[in-house]
Amino acid sequence: MPVAENQSATQQLTSAATATDDNSIHEILKDQSLTFAEKALSINNQGPQEGKRLNAGDIAVVDVDLAMAQDSTGPLAIKSLKEMRIDKLYDPSKVLLVIDHTFPAADEKVADLHAMMREFAVEHSCMLVEGSISHQHILEYLALPGMIILGADSHTCQAGCVGAFATGIGSTEIAAIWASGRMWLRVPESIKVTLSGSLERGVFARDLILDFIGKMGEDGANYRALEWFFSDENVRKEFTMDSRACISNASMECGAKISIFPFDEVAKQYLDQNPRAMVSNQNPALGIEPGQAANYIDKIEIDCSNIEPMVAGPDHPDAVHSVDEMDGLEIDQAFIGSATNGRIEDLEVAARILKGRKVHKNTRCIVTPTSVKVYEEAIRRGYVQIYLDAGAVFTNATCGACVGTHLGALGEEEICISSSSRNFVGRMGALTSKVYLSSPATVAASAIEGKVADPRGYLH
Amino acid sequence: MTPPPPVIPTSILNGKAWVFGDDINTDIIIPFRFKSRTNDPYEMAKYAMYGIDPDFHKKIAKGDFIVAGKNFGGGSSREQAPVALKYAGIAAVIAESFARIFYRNAFTIGLPALEIPGIKDKVIQGDELRVDIGNFIVENLRTREYISAKPVPEFMHKLLLEGGLVEYYKKNKQFPWDSKIV
């Protein structure tokens, strides 16, 4: 049973917009001079400037709708709470513990830390999830537009794909939210990105965001909010929730504090199909639309038709190359998975490429779904059988290989092409190993050839 | 044998500079597989800067400083990164710029993080530095140059001087945001 019984606590999640009176909220929401981040933090602010418009650079104190920690950050949060001698949580229904990184426990040290988390969850009746990656669980069951979601995990920003103000912080600050319900946040400057055109066959959202990170640099959006827009309705529909989740998640690799897609039809449809506690137009937070005359520090336009399959690495996510430039680089391991790219659309395209083919004899291929829900869907659609027939390994949902903790760590000087989030030195294992990031399609094509390969030839 | 406690930020710190480049990420500062298997800060300290030099923790003296380029601490949210540095004996990190979460975490756990654009050109490996945490000023004792760090909001400065969020709470019985000082 992957999800603990007390998951029903999610049903108690309430509206994101709690602060100030309705009038000032409406004024702020209508204000055309404010960005998404300025609106989201202004309407939630309970700090000294409560009820006023906040601008980039101001500091807000907000009620936090969801405060998450996972198995590599949760134990430290629990320790900090104990050191502060706090034994009562402000609101357990807003506290989420996820055991995902080294799940199931790879050794006794990890097992002991997992046990500590389970004990804490039972003691405090908070949410406990095991065996789905936190960001995907939050997307599938909890996130709502306008919510303030903070997590002790940098990729918490993924929930921006449904228009939540979601970002990562550290363990002790998460503990402080568990205790007080609140946290301070600086209102970030915002960058407006508008997408036009159509991605070529064999080119995916991951290629787009890798290309973007290459242009921005590793810290190009540090402290900043990314707001994603579409030039027309056709482009909008092309960017499904899975691809938006990939973009919001990977935005961390250029330092973004949040990376949001303003609430739209695609998000509404996703929320309708994946019901949660409350989706109501009465919720003022749903109406957070960035102002037409908002103050952006940069505006970027991207023609998707110019994007090629990209490969980033080694060592830095902004070290991007087109797949042609890397073509032929021999690999030891091909990894499809992680919160960045292990969703059903990712597993679908990789299965399409691997169907009826074999993983190269010098290469091992590991496929890891992002969540239990994705895992089940992959079984239902027959993808798991395709992977097994191709000679790949299909694992449980975990962050394992991405962080080199289990289920796919790299040895000395090994090379891995991976759809995971990061390629830092030693990220997946030995300090001399190298990680190259790409879309799941490029990973699958590379797995077949035993070297970096262009997926476009496999997709007709 | 219990190791010595980490340096508690007092107003004036003296130590030697260990100089690093740009984009020193948290996987370099402490790899996941080590930080995720312990809750003991002294154990974390054994892996401080492991991605560049697994013996770093043995080479430094208590009270030394890290001086780095842009985007120090990028990547993961792991609070174990500043904790590992602090418990290895690092008294402060001075960098051209910091990644957002590392910066928050450093203040939260009471590790002084001073942002000084241009610091890379003013400090070389082994320089003796004097860091005034009260005034956020670094003095290079070799060049006799005084260099001011970017100021931080008052509540963050207070948090740092009190030794981090846990110590702050233990002393004040409330968080900074409970008292409207934020």
- B11 pLDDT band (50/70/90 cuts)? confident
A101, A172, A183: residue with CB nearest B36: A101
Does the domain spanning A311-458 belong to CATH 3.40.50.10540? no
Query: What's the pLDDT band for A349 if we cut at 50, 70, 90?
Result: very high
Q: Is the pLDDT of residue A309 over 90?
A: yes
Q: Are the beta carbons of B180 and A424 separated by less than 8 Å?
A: no
Instruction: Test B27 with A154 for CB contact under 8 angstroms.
Output: no
Q: What average pLDDT does this structure show over B82-109? A: 98
Is the pLDDT confidence value at B2 over 90?
no
Domain that holds residue B49: 12-179
Q: Is residue B70 part of a domain?
A: yes
Residue B7 lies in a domain: no
* Chain B residues with beta carbon closer than 8 angstroms to that of A109: 37-38
Q: What is the pLDDT of residue A21?
A: 63
For residue A17, pLDDT beyond 80: no
Average pLDDT, stretch A87-116? 97
A23 — pLDDT class (breaks 50, 70, 90): confident
Residue A36 and residue A227 in contact, taking contact as beta carbons nearer than 8 Å: yes
Number of domains in chain B: 1
| Residue A131 near residue A46, CB atoms below 8 Å | no
Contact A170 B101 (CB under 8 A): yes
Q: Left (φ > 0), alpha (ψ -120 to 50) or beta: where does A198 sit? A: beta
Contacts of A176 in chain B (CB under 8 A): 165, 169, 175
Q: Please indicate whether, in this complex, the C-beta atoms of B70 and A110 are within 8 angstroms of each other.
A: no
Contacts of B70 in chain A (CB under 8 A): 219
The pLDDT value given to residue A401: 97
Contact A72 B78 (CB under 8 A): yes
- Domain membership of residue B34 (yes or no) is yes
Judged against a pLDDT cut of 60, whether residue B182 lies above it is answered with yes
Q: Which helix (H) or strand (E) holds A171?
A: helix A171-180
Note the pLDDT tens digit of each residue in B50-84. Answer: 999 999 999 999 999 999 999 999 999 999 999 99
Question: How distant is the Cα of A274 from the closest Cα of chain B, in angstroms?
Answer: 28
Which of A:220-249 have CB within 8 Å of B?
A: 222-223
Give residue-wise pLDDT tens across range B142-174.
Answer: 999 999 999 999 999 999 999 999 999 999 999
Tokens of A168: 């990562």
pLDDT of residue A13: 35
Query: Are B165 and A173 in contact (CB < 8 Å)?
Result: yes
Count of CB contacts below 8 A, A vs B? 147
What is the rounded CA–CA span in Å between residue A249 and residue A246?
5
Extract the tokens encoding A32.
Answer: 């055309």
Cβ of A154 within 8 Å of Cβ of B31? The answer is no
Closest CA to A237 of A269, A276, A274, A280: A269
Question: B8 pLDDT band (50/70/90 cuts)?
Answer: low
The rounded percent of chain A whose pLDDT value lies above 70 is: 93
* pLDDT given at position A279: 44
Q: Which part of chain A has CATH 3.30.499.10? A: 5-304, 311-458
Mutate to test the interface with B, among A82, A90, A169 (most CBs of B within 10 A): A169
**Residue numbers in B near A435 (CB within 8 A):** none
Chain A 332-391, residues with CB within 8 Å of chain B CB atoms: none
Please list the alpha-helical segments (H only) found in B24-177: 26-29, 32-35, 41-45, 56-59, 80-88, 100-109, 154-161, 165-172
β partners of residue B129: B15, B140
**pLDDT tens digits, B39-54:** 999 999 999 999 999 9
Q: Which of A101, A116, A182 sits opposite B177 (nearest CB)?
A: A182
- The answer to whether position B175 is within a domain reads yes
CATH number at residue B37: 3.20.19.10
C-alpha to C-alpha distance for B161 and B182, rounded to whole angstroms? 16
Cα B81-A101-A248 angle, rounded to 5 deg:
80
Residue A240: the pLDDT is 98
Structure confidence by residue, pLDDT tens digits, A434-449: 999 999 999 999 999 9
Cβ within 8 Å, pair A176-B175: yes
Q: Which of A48, A109, A183 sits opposite B180 (nearest CB)?
A: A48
Specify if B142 maps to a domain: yes
| Structure token pair of residue A350 | 């990789």
| Cα dihedral sign, B123-B124-B128-B133 | positive
> Which pLDDT tens digit goes with each residue over A329-339?
999 999 999 99
The pLDDT of residue A4: 38
Yes or no, beta carbons of A219 and B27 under 8 Å apart: no
Mean pLDDT of A86-94: 96
pLDDT top residue among A460 and B20 = B20
- In SS3 terms, B101-136 reads as HHHHHHHHHCCCEEECCCHHHCCCCCCEEEEECCCC
Residues 134-173 of A with CB under 8 A from B: 151-154, 156, 168-173
Which residues, in sequence order, are bridge partners of residue A330?
Answer: A451
Does A219 contact B74 at a Cβ distance shorter than 8 Å? yes
Q: Give chain A positions within 8 Å (CB) of B31.
A: 404, 426-427
Interface mutation target, options B20, B103, B156, B177, chain A, most CBs of A under 10 Å: B177
Residue of chain B whose alpha carbon sits nearest to that of A251: B75
Average pLDDT for A159-186:
97
Contact across the interface for A182 and B175, Cβ inside 8 Å = yes
Does residue B161 sit within a domain? yes
> Is residue B2 included in any domain, yes or no?
no
Interval A25-45 mean pLDDT? 95
Residue B136 CA to chain centroid, in angstroms?
Answer: 13
Cα–Cα distance measured from residue B101 to residue A381, given in angstroms and rounded to the nearest whole number: 39
Name chain A contacts of B23, Cβ cutoff 8 Å.
Answer: 218-219, 316
Asked if A153's CB is within 8 angstroms of B166's CB, the reply is no
Phi and psi of B15, rounded to 5°? -175, 180
Query: Which pLDDT score, from 0 to 100, does residue A16 have?
Result: 41
Q: Which residues of B touch A425 (CB under 8 A)?
A: 27-28, 51-52
Residue A7's pLDDT band (boundaries 50, 70, 90)? very low
Whether residues B177 and A152 touch (CB distance < 8 A) is answered with no
Q: CA of B176: which chain A residue's CA is closest? A: A184
Distance (Å, whole) CA A210 – CA A203: 11
Task: Please answer yes or no on whether B74 and A223 come within 8 Å at the CB atom.
Answer: no
- What value of ipTM does the predicted structure carry? 0.95
Angle A283-A169-A302 from CA coordinates, rounded to 5°: 70
Token pair for A434: 């190298």
Tell me the chain B residues in contact with residue A114 when contact means C-beta distances shorter than 8 Å: none
Each residue's pLDDT tens digit, A149-172: 999 999 999 999 999 999 999 999
Lowest mean pLDDT across A125-139, A274-288, B143-157: A274-288
Asked whether residue B42 is assigned to any structural domain, the reply reads yes
B136, B114 in Cβ contact below 8 A? Answer: yes
A72 contacts in chain B (CB < 8 Å): 32, 35-36, 78
Q: Which of B160, B109, B24, B176 is closest to A48 using CA atoms?
A: B176
Binary contact (B23, A184; C-beta < 8 A): no
A396 CB-near residues (< 8 Å, 6+ apart): A103, A104, A131, A368, A369, A375
pLDDT of residue A24: 86
Q: What confidence tier does A2 reach under pLDDT thresholds 50, 70, 90?
A: very low
- In whole angstroms, give the CA distance from residue A91 to residue A27: 29
| Nearest-by-CA chain B residue for A424 | B27
Contacts of A75 in chain B (CB under 8 A): 39
Which of the four pLDDT bands, split at 50, 70 and 90, describes residue A267?
very high
A5-304 in CATH: which number?
A: 3.30.499.10
Separation between Cα atoms, residue A392 and residue A335, nearest integer Å: 10
From the CA of B142, how many Å to the nearest CA of chain A? 31
What local confidence, expressed as pLDDT, does residue A19 receive?
Answer: 43
B165 contacts on A by Cβ (under 8 Å): 80, 172-173, 176
CA distance B101 to A407: 28
Mean of the pLDDT values across residues A398-426?
Answer: 98
Each residue's pLDDT tens digit, B111-137? 999 999 999 999 999 999 999 999 999
